[in-house]
Chain A
Amino acid sequence: MSDVVIKSENLGKKYTIGHRAKNGRYVALRDVLVHNAKNLWHKTKDLVSGKPIIQGDTTEEVWALKDLNFEIKRGEAVGIIGRNGAGKSTLLKLLSRITEPTTGRVTIDGRVASLLEVGTGFHPELTGRENIYLNGTILGMTRAEIRRKFDEIVAFAEIEKYLDTPVKRYSSGMYVRLAFAVAAHLEPEILVVDEVLAVGDSEFQKKCLGKMDDVTKQQGRTVLFVSHNLTSIENLCKTGIVLSKGNLLLTGSVDKAISSYIRMFIDHENETEVRYRKDRKGEGKVRLTSIDLEDENSHKNIAFPIGSDIFFKINYETSAPIKNPRIILGIYDFMNIGITRFDTDITMGLPFSIPNKGTIICRARNASLTPGRYYVNIAFFSNNVLEDYLTEATFFNIIGSNYFNTGRTFNENDSKLTKILLEHDWKYYA
């Protein structure tokens, strides 16, 4: 028996999604009817042959996960980190066999229990006692196993008095407690948990985290854990897997994973996003194609220590040279409060005419902002006409540094009290 319990090789999952053809292509009623009839015919054909039916005129393939290779060892607690849409849920679904992969394979050594939701299959009409059996069986326990652990489950959930009350009369807290209690007493070799601890009061959350810690440390089971709460991942997990847009970014120690998650939050995504974003305003003769943030070593970055220089690198395109250009960069905090502005009209930053394609760089010196996230709005004028305008075109994070040379700094929790930091000193007279 090897020490590796989960081994994933070239794992991939593809979804096919449908798009409706552009409006205005079918103008005449006859065309519309013909088009709909054709559509109906295709769908009926798919229906009869049992092929999956895709709504819409054109289809597009999307890889929710691609070429995932990783190994997980026995007794490890692994945190899976990634933004929304990075493929975390798809990965959990594949591991718990709810959906099949398109490519690759996973070898799992042992029984998997997945907890993608608290209280899966609970029936409101049934009593607490009945639901323990129902839910337990659904999660993969045998009846004998449930009977053996029944008292333990009831005690953990603290619902002794209401055992024979239908769960529809339970308070939401009791409901969650019962549901988690059943799940916590599963004894699979591998436990897959998705974000379930987001519910319930903090006291119970602590109890659950403790139980899960027990499961890995004392009983040597493997836990895969997805959460947006980085603190609980940090506390619970030793290793981390970082996913980004369906690709594996990194596997390693949880500290490394979390810092890479924070650092690589942006990758190259925003470059393309700006070019293709549709929610822009202005005449549109000039088009902003990308905004990149760089540090003083010309490395692309989004996390800047307090007091460092930030370079905003703006690319634009237009058909003819631009007369009288003007760019405004607006920096906003997470509550959309304006923090500062960079305006070429005020600082006379641009010449009277610029060519039809180029890069403009704005260097912001000594960014003494409180740690936190800041968003950048950008506007481009030509001859005082708004040509292109994007809100939240990009963002950056300010992270703590030794700005005051004391080893201390404000942190994100203070961001409601302070936005900017001024170099200052104190004097004392007696």
Chain B
Amino acid sequence: MSKIIIEPGRTEKNYWADLWRYRELFIILSWRDLSVRYKQTIIGILWAILRPFLTMVVFTVIFSRIAKLPSDGNAPYALMVFAAMLPWSLFANSLAESSNSLIDNTNLISKVYFPRLIIPAATLITALVDFLISFVILVAMMIYYQFMPGWQIVLIPFFIILALMASLGPGLWITALNVKYRDFRYVIPFLVQCGLYVSPVGFSSNVVPDKWRLLYSLNPMVGVIDGFRWCILGGNSPIYLPGFFLSLAIIASFLWLGVSRFRKMEKTFTDII
């Protein structure tokens, strides 16, 4: 029989083991979020496709036709935009969902014990499923443009994980802060909106002058999006390596910061939520 000891600082010690023991809860919570997501909507899951697709159309018109920005190599502009739109909406959705997750589950947190990290982590799954659905559109577009991806396409899962990690770091921190200060509820939509224009979604990051390139890579999504484009468009869109490693480092440090802040504040959630 398992023996449970409750004392100050105890949960801290068994943190990661506990997380593993509660994996079924993680599965069922992500399943709940998924099955509830498009309930009582008419076109349901189509929303996952429609939103990035329409944004892509608008961006292609504005940046390619009106602003006349160049594409990467000889890749079609629409394809280049959509290759960035995918990781961006993955990032934006999971950031938005995870940062509101604790407040949305107040009743669970104040009534049942489980490692709190499960809640924001489970929201990533919803964003991931949305991503996979809209990925179908990308495949359709590639067939339409008769565009053959290179061997790099097999590295896509790595960049998917990278995009999720990039959102989890700030997401964890903000959701923890959200418990006490609901101000952050308003920060996120704003941040996501700005990020869409600051990140190289509608345009190629090759448009950025070389001397600013490294500075530009301080935005962690630059690395993720460039990586995605490289995977999908192959040689047309080479990765700027110093910038990529900088983005990687930023993502890692944000993740570390997010997890450590979350764990520090986690203990007081029930007392203040």
Contact = CB atoms under 8 A, between A and B. Distances in A.
Contacts of A109: 1, 3-4
B270 interface: yes
Interface string B1-14: 11111111111000
Contacts of B6: 94-95, 97, 100-101, 105-108
A139 B112 CA distance: 7
Identify which of A47, A97, A102 gathers the most chain B CB atoms within 10 Å of its CB. A97
Main secondary structure of the interface of A (DSSP, over half): loop
A41 interface: no
Interface in B86-136: 107-114
B36 A107 contact: no
A189 B7 CA distance: 20
Contacts of A95: 6
Nearest to B263: A50
Interface residues of B, number: 39
A163 to B, nearest CB: 16
Given A15-B271, A110-B2, A138 B7 contact: no
B24 A143 contact: yes
Nearest to A8: B6
B257 to A, nearest CB: 10
B3 A108 contact: yes
Contacts of A116: 111-112
26 contacts: A15-B271, A50-B260, A50-B264, A53-B180, A93-B270, A96-B112, A97-B113, A98-B110, A98-B270, A99-B271, A100-B10, A101-B6, A104-B7, A105-B5, A105-B10, A109-B1, A110-B4, A111-B2, A114-B111, A114-B113, A121-B111, A123-B36, A125-B36, A126-B36, A138-B108, A138-B112
Given A95-B6, A97-B11, A98-B110, 8 more contacts: A97-B6, A100-B8, A105-B5, A105-B6, A110-B1, A120-B108, A125-B40, A134-B28
B54 to A, nearest CB: 26
B108 A121 contact: yes
Given A126-B35, A126-B36, A134-B28, A121 B7 contact: no
A117 B5 CA distance: 24
Chain A interface size range:
35 or more
A377 to B, nearest CB: 38
B60 to A, nearest CB: 36
B65 interface: no
Contact of A117 (B2, B111, B260): B111
Contacts of A52: 180, 265, 268, 271-272
A105 B7 CA distance: 4
Interface in A344-364: none
Nearest to A15: B271
B2 A123 contact: no
Contact of A107 (B3, B25, B272): B3
Interface string A104-144: 11111111101011001101011000100110011100110
Nearest to B25: A137
Contacts of B11: 97, 100
Given A15-B271, A106-B7, A120-B108, A142 B264 contact: no
Interface in A279-321: none
A98 B32 contact: no
